[in-house]
């Protein structure tokens, strides 16, 4: 039986690749993104799927979106917090405050906002998996990406604490997707991005792996097999 899956940051990269795979394999997907590319998803994947322009940093808009999704598409079986920003590589003291703040707003606060509105519905139903995308830079560090590292270390802690709070039947997992050739990777390593797998190839492994997550995995720091960095 198909699952209902919600994905943030669905217009491109890993989110888009996951959405396309899940839909092709009989699952229902609701997603949000900040760009007009969401219109393409609406056109190519009409109802029962649902795609909306939503900035996860805007509390009121997230609340409205969640009420629409849960009312029309249903309570998600899997909630994937994928939306994130990368800082332009630079020593921490050279990263502008506005850039740092925006990254934290999306990568940490945005995840918390989406959880705040979706998870009560999942708790009420008594089942569901929350997958918060972490990173190799949430478990280790590199120079010139300190803001991103900070945000993903935070996701690890946030998710593990959430896992301790959830009732039986639910699970929260910080998932390291691995190093994939996306626009975010090219922002950091433009010259080397071609050496890494494309998002579509990654999704063929990542999507089935995510579908297999459940209460047994609650609170575990996991990585997509074959792609761990």
Over range 185-196, report the average pLDDT.
62
Burial (Cβ within 10 Å: 0-12, 13-18, ≥19) of residue 82: buried
What pTM was computed for the model?
A: 0.95
Catalytic residue among 148, 153, 196, 202: 148
Task: Pinpoint the alpha helices (H) of the chain.
Answer: 13-24, 38-44, 59-72, 97-104, 111-125, 146-165, 183-189, 199-211
Token couple for 219: 């609170």
Query: Is 196 an active-site residue?
Result: no
pLDDT tens for residues 139-152?
999 999 999 999 99
Position 190 pLDDT exceeds 70:
no
Which residue ranges form the domains of the chain, and what is each CATH number? 4-222 (3.40.50.720)
User: pLDDT category, 1, cuts 50, 70, 90?
Assistant: confident
CA distances from 54 to 8, 58, 83, 177 (A): 9, 8, 11, 23
Taking all residues of the chain, what is their mean pLDDT, rounded to a whole number? 94
Q: DSSP string covering 12-40, please?
A: SHHHHHHHHHHHHTT-EEEEEESSTTHHH
C-alpha span between 147 and 90 (Å, rounded): 10
pLDDT tens for residues 88-109?
999 999 999 999 999 999 999 9
């Amino acid at each position: 039986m198909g699952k209902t899956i919600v994905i943030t940051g669905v217009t491109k990269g890993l989110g888009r690749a996951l959405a396309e795979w899940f839909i092709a394999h009989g699952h229902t997907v609701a997603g949000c993104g900040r760009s007009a590319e969401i219109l393409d998803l609406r056109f190519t994947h009409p109802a029962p799927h649902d795609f909306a322009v939503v900035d996860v940093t805007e509390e009121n808009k997230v609340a409205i979106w969640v009420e629409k999704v849960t009312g029309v598409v249903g309570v998600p079986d899997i909630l994937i917090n994928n939306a994130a920003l990368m800082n332009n590589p630079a020593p921490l003291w050279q990263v502008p405050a506005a850039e740092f703040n925006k990254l934290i707003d999306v990568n940490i606060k945005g995840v918390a906002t989406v959880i705040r509105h979706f998870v009560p519905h999942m708790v009420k139903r008594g089942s569901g998996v929350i997958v918060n995308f972490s990173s190799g830079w949430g478990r280790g560090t590199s120079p010139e990406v300190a803001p991103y590292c900070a945000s993903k270390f935070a996701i690890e802690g946030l998710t593990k604490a959430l896992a301790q709070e959830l009732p039986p039947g639910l699970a929260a997992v910080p998932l390291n997707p691995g190093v994939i050739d996306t626009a975010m990777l090219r922002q950091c390593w433009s010259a080397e991005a071609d050496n890494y797998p494309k998002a579509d190839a990654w999704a063929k492994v990542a999507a089935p792996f995510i579908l297999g997550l459940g209460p047994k995995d609650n609170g575990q720091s996991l990585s997509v097999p074959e792609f761990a960095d």
